[in-house]
Copies of this chain bind each other. A is one copy, B any other.
Amino acid sequence: MRDVYVIGAGMTKFEKALETSLKELSGAAVLDALQDAGLTPDQVEAAYVGNAVAGLVIGQEMIRGQVLLRPVGIQAIPIFNVENACASASTALHLGWQAVATGIHDIVLCLGAEKLTHRDKRVGMAAIGTAVDVEATAEAAQAASEGTDGGKPRSYFMDLYAQWTKAYMERSGATPEDFAGVVVKNQHNGALNPRAQYGAELTVDEVLADREVVWPLTLRMCSPISDGAAAVIIASEEAMRRLGANGVKILASTLVSGNNHDENDPTAGSAGRAAKMAYELAGVGPEDLSCVEVHDAAAPAELMIYEYIGLAKPGEGPALLRSGEANLGGKRPVNTSGGLLSKGHPIGATGIAQICEATWQLRGQAGARQVPGARLALTQNGGGWLDDDSAAMSVHILEAVR
């Protein structure tokens, strides 16, 4: 296997962009990444395109990547349309990484794009709720998408998160204040990220006083409905040198599916397995990481993920947060981008948006949220839910090139 580098990163601002098409979002991110890598569209040898719900939201299934890439002049090459719910973009990247690592291609484009806003707000919410076995959960999803909270629609996943959160509170002693603390941290970081959808200096009390979505989750503890796209160009070392590009090295790229989460062993589920494989491939451990992006689709998830990926021991997620270690300025900042909670969560774009943040941190381009001397970054991105585990889980570890 050859070494593979991210040599270009581009993303749109994440926001509710009702009037902006998926094509426009994708085109902006791709051109941004191409420019960052110093490439023209004709130099791309293959494209891997992650999107989760365009079929349900805008009626475009089938040939999503071809439709999105044509306007920026990318055609004729192999285009792979891949889907893995909220891990769609990571899955696209994992396939692109395999193609470069094995020598099939030298320069490939990986794109994640999603449009969730719709004139009917329920459309996006209902679409997100399909990241399950819809046949088996049709009734639950229907009920949730229709909303039970004063008529406000909400994602079926927030019901799932609420359920896991209650179990987590029991086993870890986590409190609603801890979940609010995650929000305070990530909103602070988001305020420093010009591409983040939200960002503010909040207090724990303000987050707790928010509208309740489903106990114990208040509104800001849930990732928002977002539109956006993120793209990376990845390349072999030889191609990177030839192009004179500024790359970061992909030390590990892993993808697994779920097969039952074990609450007694947080590292046994899909996130734990994907992370363990990634640490082994990269030859590093959690203690070596400079910064981390995790899949905080709901605030409590961030604390659970600390445990899944070995940042904290079982039950010690809340203690890690309280220690300040995960804050900007702390020993190992988590979700410097603002995370899904503050940066936004256009679901099929999220995995590559995490890679963009890691790339910028490792190149020293993260501006006001820069982690000084960042050398190693990990990203964790999960998608869907099936039989008590994430349906898809991907972890990447990247290293700065000095």
Contact = CB atoms under 8 A, between A and B. Distances in A.
24 contacts: A53-B62, A56-B59, A59-B134, A61-B83, A62-B130, A62-B384, A63-B83, A63-B84, A66-B384, A66-B391, A67-B386, A70-B133, A70-B386, A75-B258, A76-B258, A76-B273, A78-B257, A80-B82, A80-B84, A81-B82, A81-B91, A82-B83, A98-B98, A98-B102
A75 B270 CA distance: 11
Nearest to A22: B135
Interface of A: 21, 23, 52-53, 55-56, 58-64, 66-67, 70, 75-85, 91, 94-95, 98-99, 102-104, 127, 130-135, 255-259, 270, 273, 383-384, 386-387, 391-392
Nearest to A260: B75
Contacts of A102: 98, 102-104
A293 B356 CA distance: 43
A163 to B, nearest CB: 19
A127 B59 CA distance: 9
A257 B127 CA distance: 28
A391 B135 CA distance: 31
A24 to B, nearest CB: 11
Oligomer copy total: 2
A13 to B, nearest CB: 22
Contact of A62 (B58, B131, B258): B131
B384 A75 contact: no
Contacts of A81: 82-84, 91
Chain A contact residues: over half helix, strand or loop, or mixed?
mixed
A134 B63 CA distance: 10
A60 B91 contact: no
Contacts of A104: 98, 102
A85 B79 CA distance: 12
A53 B55 CA distance: 8
A59 B131 CA distance: 10
A171 to B, nearest CB: 24
A52 B84 CA distance: 14
| Residue among A56, A66, A78, A82 with most chain B CB within 10 A | A66
Given A60-B134, A63-B132, 5 more contacts: A59-B134, A61-B83, A61-B130, A66-B384, A82-B82
A324 to B, nearest CB: 36
Contacts of A383: 62-63
Given A83-B83, A256-B77, A387 B70 contact: yes
Contacts of A78: 94, 255-257
B392 A257 contact: no
Given A78-B255, A258-B76, A83 B62 contact: yes
Contact of A386 (B53, B66, B392): B66
A127 B133 CA distance: 20
A34 B134 CA distance: 26
B80 A91 contact: yes
A255 to B, nearest CB: 5
A44 B74 CA distance: 34
Contact of A130 (B60, B83, B259): B60
